[in-house]
Structure 1
Amino acid sequence: MTYIIAEPCVDVLDRACVEECPVDCIYEGNRMLYIHPDECVDCGACEPVCPVEAIFYEDDVPEQWKDYANANYEFFEDLGSPGGAAKIGKIDKDTAFVAAQPPGGE
């Protein structure tokens, strides 16, 4: 289990969670942030600082946003586990599911 970033983050990319994460496991895509499921230590530090309440423990993701759990996993399929977001910076991609979402951030 891991934490998941869901729909409220699309096109927001606030990054407060990135600053709070003690293990640097929150990666930036083009339209949203993604939590690496293998690097996350389930500390929960990211959840309370998210200004749009987009972060949930995987078992607690609201039903309407369940597809974001798959998106968080799929984002890392080709990337693997680089061992920290800071050293690779923004990743010029999103999952097909996230890329297909209507504009967010409102």
Structure 2
Amino acid sequence: MADKASNYATHKAMTREELGDSTKCVKIISKDKDGEKIKPVVEIDKEKINEDLKYAGYNLMVTSELDMEPLQVYQTYHCLWKIEESFRITKSYLDARPVYVQKKEQSMAFFNLCKAL
């Protein structure tokens, strides 16, 4: 993201669409030290980059499952992508209609499906 952000030298060359998530690595300064308006200056936010690098490689999971061990929570949520991929394939190739899960038993069936995959 930092490399992509550094390719934009002017304010006009930069839009959120072009930068995407790398906008968090950019500072746009439009006032001088005295608070006077100036031509916008684009800078790379090295402090933000260093802050992000401290947490690179870590996963943060928030869950309501208080009775599960941390490793069990990780393994359960980690394989959710298999379920999501199955739904995507089902929806796209089989032209399936939306399925709504409302009961606890149905939710648990999806977690059990994850273990089976």
Q: Which has the higher helix share?
A: 2
Q: TM-score range by the shorter chain?
A: under 0.3
